[in-house]
Structure 1
């Protein structure tokens, strides 16, 4: 059985399972993490959390199961059990059956929880990232200035005192993005230390004080390779960290976006960031290639990504290339789940690809044939 359900399609309208327990749990754990972190809970609970508990109790009673007695017990369920577990109800769209709402090591909402939302719409965390970037773009007043600030954010998830004394420090850029950073939350600090992943630079946590990434460690990127030494910061109170939404939806895909734009440059093509393009859409131009739009993502749930793409590009007049990391594109069932969930209007316009495969999609002299597509998605 593949990790993605390729036969299911995402419901596109009407009141359906989107309104049920599945998304309610994802929203609740995300909001609780924003308020207190998930290590300690204080009353009164947010209304979304109470709603999740109420729905879970009703769901269990309807099925003859023992319901959770409290919100902490419900969160324990979301940590211990996977989304494929029938006690949480059927998933409203194809998702990885081994995904969780809360990471058992990090004790934070997983990337899947942050991605889950009603079909075609951004979730709470993604919407915050979109709104933050829109406000920054307005503040910059030029696409070039905004592009520089956006790149700064993507490559600086954490700011230390040493960074600010570096001779390459860009004070003008910092003054524009400063309000998108905050003090390091207590939930990320362990024994007055902040541990960062040596691969993605995002916060990490361990079970037994491991010094490098491995099976018993967690980082916000969730996909980093094992065996990479951690970076230890002993005075996190003097650091500032980029808000969670931008770490999830801007920093995480930044390396893939850089690889994609490097490949576009290697091919001798032009590209520029479009105005008012949400998380970021690039327009690719060149004398011997077709104009197209490129968006770069790093999402664990391809059907959810397809829903967002379908909503955003339903009226696109240019071909759209959705670029994801090779490690995701090669996961069994990922491409099929993405294509199955695309709206009918987008299936001829949108192509899922990777940075190292851009050339054959950009140049009309070597377009992917039908047989190539069948081989790719086999």
Structure 2
């Protein structure tokens, strides 16, 4: 389905959009600075602006506003966005979407996506700046492999012990980005250490888990928490870790998290016997897939919670490296979590991207298997990707 109106103009008509943008920016700035439960006056400008604009929106609707910042944070933790007294388009939020996680008071993925979609804050564009810097450095050196290994490192190794950091420091493939790596891996605070003096890494998303008072663990990834209690992967004794490092939060949110879906898809396609290149031509797109007969797919993987935001971000897949078919792909569990996900994406994508199909990763693997089967049986390939 293709939207009959301009999605950008439709969203701009709703006065609640700027407020949600301001709120999301404030919450991510506050989290990066001190954590939402630790704050003092004067508040950062973005935070004071969010409090003032929320109060104004409530007064215009005849609703009692949050009296102070703790009240506003309570709203963000307990009150679904759809229930706020603001004017929002129908697909701006689902019925249970919150801006802060009720258990940890940390910004949700939806909150980060609101902030990333609309903000021009230097803090919130940090992840893009780092990736652009890595691309520039690797191009200057003429080392495409260095960029590929840089991206893979951020996806598969968001946590490093001192010994692991040393091994990376002597890996000459990464020479173009060594200085950058020193800036983006930062010391881990003691809040991640359990009383028995060890850290734990999530077995699903590979980020550090936060210990809870009841003895459990909390994972910062919304997608991971929806799958149940986080499985503990490796445990790291504090005395053996040296100075434990982890990627900064924006990179964990926008590079490590989505990158997990990319490398998981890489593994599944490779297991089918296909030739796979990751982030080809300095990240023109995510996955370059070559079939035995030379047919090529270009795949961009998008692990987004909000389908309308994903639709608004849709764009044609770059033409280089060349390919025969191109797809955007989203993890199946994203679609399972939000009914009508793909239809919402299609309604919100701009006209220039109306030919960019969105498939789940399961659908893409099924298409790959079917194509391999047709090739093995000598069936001529149809060029219509929807056939």
- TM-score computed with the length of structure 2 as normaliser: 0.78
Find out whether 1:246 has 2:251 as its counterpart: yes
Corresponding residue number in structure 2 for 1:323: 329
Corresponding residue number in structure 1 for 2:340: 333
> Which of 161, 166, 178 is 2:182 aligned to?
178
Cα distance change, pair 355–366 in 1 and its aligned pair in 2 (3 A): farther
Q: Is contact 2:279–2:287 with CA below 8 Å preserved after alignment?
A: yes
What is the CA distance between 1:203 and its match in structure 2? 3.2
How far apart are the structure 2 equivalents of 1:23 and 1:86?
Answer: 14
How far apart are the structure 2 equivalents of 1:8 and 1:95?
Answer: 21
How far apart are the structure 1 equivalents of 2:385 and 2:281?
Answer: 33
Corresponding residue number in structure 2 for 1:148: 149
Q: Bigger CA drift: 105-114 or 234-243?
A: 234-243
Q: Is contact 2:299–2:327 with CA below 8 Å preserved after alignment?
A: yes
Q: Is contact 1:267–1:359 with CA below 8 Å preserved after alignment?
A: no
Task: State the secondary structure of the residue aligned to 1:84.
Answer: helix
How far apart are the structure 2 equivalents of 1:49 and 1:120?
Answer: 16
Find out whether 1:260 has 2:265 as its counterpart: yes
- TM-score computed with the length of structure 1 as normaliser: 0.79
Find out whether 1:308 has 2:313 as its counterpart: yes
Q: With a CA cutoff of 8 Å and minimum separation of 6, indicate the structure with the bigger relative contact order.
A: 1
Q: Bigger CA drift: 50-59 or 156-165?
A: 156-165
Task: State the secondary structure of the residue aligned to 2:186.
Answer: strand
Corresponding residue number in structure 2 for 1:298: 303
What is the CA distance between 1:116 and its match in structure 2? 1.2
Higher helix share: 2
Corresponding residue number in structure 2 for 1:161: 162
Deviation digits for residues 304-336 of structure 1 (CA, Å, limit 9, x no counterpart):
1121223x6599996431122221233421111
How far apart are the structure 1 equivalents of 2:198 and 2:211?
Answer: 12
Deviation digits for residues 115-173 of structure 1 (CA, Å, limit 9, x no counterpart):
1148688886663222111112222332111101111111111112353467x985443
Q: Bigger CA drift: 180-189 or 295-304?
A: 180-189
> Which of 18, 21, 25 is 1:20 aligned to?
18
Corresponding residue number in structure 2 for 1:376: none
How far apart are the structure 2 equivalents of 1:343 and 1:314?
Answer: 16
Cα distance change, pair 38–86 in 1 and its aligned pair in 2 (3 A): closer
What is the CA distance between 1:302 and its match in structure 2? 1.3
How many residue pairs are counted as aligned between the two chains?
359
Unmatched 5+ stretches in structure 1: 1-5, 373-378
Q: What pairs up with 1:216-231 in 2 under 5 angstroms? A: 217-224=218-225, 225-230=227-232
What is the CA distance between 1:352 and its match in structure 2? 2.6
Q: Bigger CA drift: 243-252 or 157-166?
A: 157-166
Deviation digits for residues 241-276 of structure 1 (CA, Å, limit 9, x no counterpart):
101111111111223212322344334345352445
Cα distance change, pair 313–229 in 1 and its aligned pair in 2 (3 A): closer
Cα distance change, pair 60–52 in 1 and its aligned pair in 2 (3 A): same
Corresponding residue number in structure 1 for 2:102: 104
How far apart are the structure 2 equivalents of 1:81 and 1:209?
Answer: 25
